[in-house]
Amino acid sequence: MLPDDFSPEVYLELHADVRAAGMDPTQHYLKFGKSEGRPYKHGAVATRDKSLLHPKLEGHYQYDGLASKHNHDFMIDPSYVAAYQRGIEATGCDYKWYWRVHIGLWAARSAAKHEGDFVECGVNYGFLSSAIMKDLDWDTTGRQFYLLDTFTGLDERYLSENEKNGGVIERNQSEIESGFYTTNLDSVKKNFSEWRNVRIVPGSIPDTLEHIDATRIAFLHIDLNCTIPEVAAIDYLWDRLVSGAFVLLDDYAYFGYQPQKEGMDAWAKKMNLSIASLPTGQGLLIKP
């Protein structure tokens, strides 16, 4: 309810930000000012300024299948911005994967506190791995980053029947034709030439897993968009993951990738493990 003695002119006089924004003073008071404890008449004192409890970055987050009104100030953190921009440079496109990349950077930073190399199964252009290497100042870490991908799209030999029947073959061909999946290995190599201790391994997983000669792994990112290779990768590398290692599954909970979740859940159950399902569409596992 609007107070009987409410004056729009006085409200604008007291709150220059509302005037500058060109907002209707009555509507602003009813929608925001009242709950924020803003005074609406001379001599009144605001008992509370609830804006002090609000995030620095205003507005709702609505990208990549995730909508949230919660704090996403990470998007204006300078180190995050620099890392995310490096990801864009790798792909030439902003996919608006802001929160997904935030989780990836957090996992990589946390993994970097442990001894071990990094592995990414499913690289494509290298958005996340480029962002991570920028963020960690990779050449100072002394670690190896193994980057495995066909660099030609999905290998249809390793699609499950559910994936084939669900149209993954057609989706794969569409992603290649649109350029979402890279087929230019030379451009990928050029992108990563900025850093030392990078090993790019082209070919299909599980065929290429033997080329990972790391004995200790602290970070594993799996983004293969099909079930059989993903389960094969984590199963093959699990014993080399150090205690506390981070495993990030890109499409574990993402809409339209149900077979991958079911495949990983079956593997986790066999190993007496539990995977955290994240609202970004990712899955997270920390090795005990």
Token digits of residue 56? 């620095």
What pLDDT digit, counting tens, does each position of 205-259 carry?
999 999 999 999 999 999 999 999 999 999 999 999 999 999 999 999 999 999 9
Percent of the chain with pLDDT over 90: 83
Q: Is the pLDDT of residue 155 over 60?
A: yes
Q: Give the chain's mean pLDDT.
A: 95
CA separation, residue 229 to residues 118, 155, 236 (Å)? 18, 9, 10
What pLDDT digit, counting tens, does each position of 27-56 carry?
999 988 888 888 888 876 655 666 778 888
CATH homologous superfamily of 52-287 equals Vaccinia Virus protein VP39 (3.40.50.150)
Contact present, 55 and 44 (Cβ < 8 Å)? no
Contact present, 122 and 86 (Cβ < 8 Å)? no
Return the domain boundaries, the chain.
8-46, 52-287
What pLDDT digit, counting tens, does each position of 85-142 carry?
999 999 999 999 999 999 999 999 999 999 999 999 999 999 999 999 999 999 999 9
pTM assigned to the model = 0.83
Per-residue pLDDT averaged across 175-182, rounded?
A: 96
246 in helix, strand or coil? Answer: strand
pLDDT at 66: 98
